[in-house]
Amino acid sequence: MDNANLFRTLVASYGSPLYVYNLDTVQLRLSELRRTVTSKAKLFYSAKANPLLAKELSAEGVGVEVTSTAELNAVSPDARGHVLYGGPAQTPQEMRYALEHGVRQFSVESLSQLILLDQQAEQSGLKPDVIIRVNPHIRASARLSMTGVASQFGMDIEHIQSNRTTIKGLMHLRLIGVHTYLGTQIEPLQNIVEACETSLAVLDEVAQVLGCPLSVINFGGGFPWPYAQKGEVCLGSIEQRINELVLRASDRGIECWFESGRFLAASSGTLIFRVLENKSSKGRDFILTDAGVHCLGGMSGLSRTLRQKVDIVPLQCTHVQHQTAHLATVVGPLCTPLDIVARDVSLRPVQEGELLTIENVGAYGLTASLVAFLGKPIPVEVLIVKGKVKRTLALKLVWEQCADARA
Ligand SMILES: Cc1ncc(COP(=O)(O)O)c(C=O)c1O
């Protein structure tokens, strides 16, 4: 079955809008990334990109980077030893839950979080490995830069320096390395290599400041992939430099970790949705659909990120294929003017009931959307392998009576 027929069949079974994730594509990206970072490096999948892929990727021997109990629960219990638990401002309850559910590696972002984890580890009778997330002095050329600028993420080196005695006195943590995260969608690709070089220097600096050997550097993610646009990224141009860097570090007894969300997940996902109505208003054409910012690009619905070009492709409809394209604004069904999927896209005329698709939405798609806003149906998510359904999941929005506010 070709993709168009498969998608049509899946929509007939699971409704529209629908997310389909192709695990064969995830495999392809995984082998490309493994080739780039070499087998000497340890690879983590960043579950925030799409928690539903965590199970499959951990079955492939990839560690999983999680930042919440829900993301941790998306990883099979037998793979939790390979989880890296991070994120700022974790509560003692979250730390305790992670420790009790098999997590033994943490990325910690502040002194108070280090102290909190040390206490939780002591109470659990455990001594987890810890990498300290550092906010170095440089700034990556990333679209979402979290480094080198004032930020709630990570610790400044000066702060590590002034608290070195306290940090070294935390007896229930095994301090093994440093974590830097330079941003997402890092382009041009050469900037990733430069960011890695800088991170290695930061590792040496922190080891010197603390006066103890550190053997792990987590470079973070940032390998790019188009979002909701056609296109692809080939890592070939940085393969050799990253290979050399990892091998050089390995020769010094340093293990390199990479955590990637977008690159591994994005290309696997397609959103399929339906045209509900064509409408003209004051000279502009609108296509009203059943997919809005509750399904995709939720943060843009809050005007929090720049609107970018979105490529929308009709699933197929041969009898109108010869018609010429015109500009239309594709919107969702929510009653807010911010519910815009794509502004002024060039599209052939589409008919009510017809299915449209957006590719490259396997990362930061549904879980990064405003699923609860206005209570419209949440798309079902289908994982396919070799054209066959492997798993089907439905995120449910249900309000239940709650006697205890924290239950
Ligand atoms: C700490 C951390 N690691 C990894 C990632 C994944 O980044 P990407 O999806 O760009 O690979 C993120 C994304 O925000 C992050 O904050």
- Please give the distance, rounded to the nearest whole angstrom, from the Cα atom of residue 392 to the centre of ligand 1: 25
Whether 210 and 293 map to the same domain: the answer is no
- Atom 7 in ligand 1: which residue has the minimum CA distance? 221
Helix axes 23-37, 236-251, angle to 10 degrees: 50
Looking at ligand 1, which atom is closest to the CA of residue 224? 10
| Alpha-helical segments (H) within 304-391 | none
Asked if residue 221 is part of any domain, the answer here is: yes
CATH classification at residue 214: 3.20.20.10
Nearest ligand 1 atom to the CA of 186 is 10
Q: Which atom of ligand 1 is nearest to the CA of 67?
A: 1
Q: Do 152 and 27 share a domain, yes or no? A: yes
Expressed in angstroms and rounded, the spacing between residue 243 Cα and the centre of ligand 1 is 21
Nearest atom in ligand 1 to 144's CA: 14
CB 313 within 8 A of CB 359: yes
Ligand 1 atom with the smallest distance to the CA of 260 is 11
Q: What is the CATH number of the domain that holds 317?
A: 2.40.37.10
CA of 144 to the centre of ligand 1 (A): 10
Instruction: Report the C-alpha gap between 83 and 77 in whole angstroms.
Output: 10
* Residue among 107, 259, 264, 299 to mutate when testing ligand 1 (max atoms within 8 A of CB): 259
Q: Is position 289 within any domain? A: yes
Ligand 1 midpoint to CA 184 (Å): 6
Q: Which residues have C-beta within 8 Å of that of residue 394, sequence separation ≥ 6?
A: 378, 380, 381
Domain total in the chain: 2
Q: Both 7 and 29 in a single domain? A: no
Nearest CA to ligand 1 atom 14: 184
Q: Among 215, 248, 266, give the residue marking a domain's end.
A: 266
Quote the DSSP letter at residue 184.
B
Q: Take atom 16 of ligand 1 and give the residue whose Cα is closest.
A: 181
Structural domain ending residue among the three candidates 236, 266, 296: 266
What's the CA-to-centroid distance between 219 and ligand 1, angstroms? 10
State the distance from the centre of ligand 1 to the C-alpha of 209, rounded, in angstroms.
27
Q: What is the mean pLDDT of each run of 10 residues along the chain (407 residues)?
A: 92 98 98 98 97 97 98 96 97 98 98 98 98 81 59 94 98 98 89 93 97 97 93 97 98 98 97 98 97 85 62 77 84 91 92 97 94 94 98 93 72
Atom of ligand 1 lying closest to residue 264 CA? 11
Are 46 and 151 contained in the same domain?
yes
Task: Report yes or no on 290 lying in a domain.
Answer: yes
Helix (H, G, I), strand (E, B) or coil at 83: strand
Residues 204 and 286 in one domain: no
Residue 241 and residue 98 in one domain? yes
Give, using CA atoms, the residue closest to atom 5 of ligand 1.
Answer: 221
The alpha carbon of 174 and the centre of ligand 1 are apart by a number of angstroms equal to 24
Please indicate, yes or no, if residue 352 is contained in any of the structural domains.
yes
Nearest residue (CA) to ligand 1, atom 12: 221
Contact in structure between 353 and 275 (CB atoms under 8 Å)? yes
In this structure, are 273 and 261 located in the same domain?
Answer: no
Q: Angle at the Cα of 168 (from 162 to 170), degrees rounded to 5?
A: 115
What is the separation of C-alpha 354 from the centre of its chain, rounded to a whole number of angstroms?
30
Give 74's Cβ-side CA count (13 Å radius).
Answer: 26
**pLDDT on residue 148:** 66
Atom number in ligand 1 closest to CA 259: 4
Evaluate whether residue 400 is within a structural domain.
Answer: no
Structural domain contains residue 272 = yes
* Residue 363 · residue 283 · CB < 8 Å: no
The reply to whether 11 and 153 lie within a common domain is no
405 occurs within a structural domain: no
Which residue type is seen at 297? G
Residues in CB range of 54: below 8 A, 6 or more apart? 45, 47, 64, 66, 71, 74, 75
Residue 21 has a pLDDT of 98
Co-location of 284 and 339 in the same domain: yes
Domain annotation covers residue 406: no
* CA 289/CA 139 separation, integer angstroms: 40
Claim to verify: residue 239 and residue 354 sit in the same structural domain: no
> Ligand 1 mean position to 185 CA, how many Å?
9
The reply to whether 169 and 274 lie within a common domain is no
- 195 and 337 together in one domain: no
Side chain identity at 132, as an amino acid letter?
A: I
Q: Among 184, 196, 268, which residue has the most ligand 1 atoms within 8 Å of its CB, making it the best to mutate?
A: 184
Spatial CA neighbour of 214 closest among 247, 246, 243, 253? 253
Amino acid present at 139: R
Q: Of 342, 364, 340, which Cα lies nearest the Cα of 143? A: 364
Q: Measured between alpha carbons, how far is 160 from 82 in angstroms, rounded to an integer?
A: 27
Last residue of a domain, one of 266, 301, 332: 266
| Residues within a 6 A CB radius of ligand 1 | 46, 48-49, 65, 86, 181, 184, 220-223, 259-263
| Parent domain of 80 | 23-266
Residue pair 34/43 in contact (Cβ under 8 Å)? The answer is yes
